[in-house]
Amino acid sequence: MSRFQNKIELFDSTLRDGAQGEGISFSVLDKIKIVQLLDEIGVDYVEAGNPGSNPKDLEFFREISNLSLKKVKLVAFGATRRRNIDVTEDANLASLIQAGTDYVSIFGKSWDFQVTDIIRTTLEENLAMIRDTIGYMVSQGKGVIFDAEHFYDGYIEHREYALETVLEAARAGAQSIALCDTRGGTIPSIIADATREVVDLLESDYPDLIIGIHTHNDISCAEASSLLAVEAGARQVQGTFIGFGERCGNANLATIIPSLQLKLGFDVLTPEELSRLTYTSHAIAEISNISIPHGTAYIGRSAFTHKGGMHIDGVSKNPKAFEHIAPEDVGNERRFLTSEVSGRSTILKQIQKYAPDLDKNAPQTTHIIDKLKTLEMEGYQFEGAESSFELVIAKELGKYTPFFSLDHYRTLGEMPPTGDAETSHTAVVKVFVNGQSAIEAAQGDGPVHALDKALRGVLETFYPCLAQIRLTDYKVRVLDSMHASAAKVRVLIETSEEEMSWSTMGVSTDIIEASWLALVDSIEYKLMKEGVIPASDHTKGE
């Protein structure tokens, strides 16, 4: 059976289970960008939403169908058929088929308490719901991942029935079965024992069936339980990429992956994919508008940080003195807090995308790293704002000429007339392009909207291609809450046109200025990518 293979399948549920986390809200564009990041790093399956309960998820599945993916297989999520109806009459199953994915994830009850007291049907009918739903989806040409919901709770209280639900799913044709610690409270040793029993039970009759593990973190054991389940024979690991999800969150794939690969020797990602782990994690965090705690294993800012005394001395002589892996393996970096020495392997890799001939000893590399270090101290964080990062590199390499210069901008806000929220703010922007001055005023729904309209409006005369772009997302993060309303903020915006989108950022104690800096970067990035030749003189005319 699959327990003897060395390959581990990664099943990411950031866009479904993760979206149920407190404070998480994804736009369709957010979800598409996360899928692209997960595809780039080599995730096998992405559970992208529940089309039966969320119209926005159906819109996402329509949009994502136009995207070419290298490895990721998209999965639509839904429940077994409702009790006492035919599968062909179930609206949820119809939505799953409408989503158009080759794979579906079907959850069904494995705990008798959930069957009798929550969905209020008989144990026999629940087995029929599992059997009928999986069989129907297989007949529709779908690969079925069965989520045995509450499996471990059921195993503890009514072992025989929990195992029977898994057998029913296998008989019906599921290609994999994920054993779920849905409440997140099962002790890891029990998860290991139960998983091993399931693997042994199905091994001979269903040699191609993959057993998966799906854990939640309510007793802070989700990652440990996942690792033990793999050692017991599970070969698919489900989780969210940086661990957020319902209640205390899901198993954190970003910390499980390197443990599986570097500690246990399983085949998960290529070395190149693994080296993107830290970047991908922080990019997803930026899109999700959350921060990764500094102390997060492998990917946190402090994961390879050393402060003073014997630690710095030991690591300077030989990193393995206090580091269990090389930070470069997961795309992170070593930091010494008591000196100016700071590894920048990840940044160097990004620089080499735009200047492949540069190495770590080139003067230009040093200048760029110093510049980025300064910007980081000011609050910039370029994961998730790759376009601003590219502009910094272009400027430091002397490959950039400004497209305009600002004379001034002004914003005015007021309580809008009733029913006229889109005119709550007015912005005026005056710029110089090749010695010519131009000014534009615009009204908008808030100061940023008004600034965006005014800036693009004043520049479209000189650069007509700007008429095609639009601001599609806007996020603000307070960097130092101790200063209350005077705190520094980081603004991340996303700009789009047709099939292309890009992200930029600005940092300031003034939220309007931070927004302005991000808006300017978005426009300059667009013009630079279009190959527009900037005017050579942006000074005021005589």
Domain boundaries, the chain: 2-269, 305-396, 405-530
Kindly report the number of other CB atoms within 10 A of residue 453's CB atom: 20
Supply the angle between the helices 159-172 and 188-202 in degrees, to the nearest 10. Answer: 50
Q: Which CATH superfamily is domain 405-530 in?
A: Alpha-isopropylmalate synthase LeuA, regulatory domain (3.30.160.270)
The pLDDT score that the predictor gives to residue 384 is 67
The residue with tokens 């009514």 is 158
The token duo for 325 is 């892996």
Give CATH for domain 2-269.
3.20.20.70
Point out the residues of the chain with pLDDT beneath 50: 1-2, 338-343, 345, 537-542
Question: What are 52-95's pLDDT values in tens digits?
Answer: 877 778 889 989 988 899 999 999 999 999 999 999 999 999 99
Q: Which residues of 40-52 are buried (b: 16+ CB within 10 A; e: fewer)?
A: bbbbbbbbbbbbb
The long-range contacts involving 257-260, CB below 8 angstroms and separated by at least 24 positions, are: 257/10, 258/298, 258/325, 258/329, 258/330, 259/223, 259/227, 260/8, 260/227, 260/230
Residues near 340 by beta carbon (within 8 Å), at least 6 away in sequence = none
Residue pair 78/92 in contact (Cβ under 8 Å)? The answer is yes
The long-range contacts involving 271-276, CB below 8 angstroms and separated by at least 24 positions, are: 271/329, 273/40, 273/41, 273/42, 274/329, 274/330, 274/331, 275/328, 275/329, 275/330, 275/331, 275/349, 276/40, 276/41, 276/331
- Percent of the chain clearing pLDDT 70 (strictly above): 92
Kindly report the number of other CB atoms within 10 A of residue 362's CB atom: 14
The pLDDT score that the predictor gives to residue 541 is 42
The pLDDT score that the predictor gives to residue 387 is 86
Q: Is 126 helix (H, G, I), strand (E, B) or coil?
A: helix
The pLDDT score that the predictor gives to residue 1 is 46
The pLDDT score that the predictor gives to residue 365 is 83
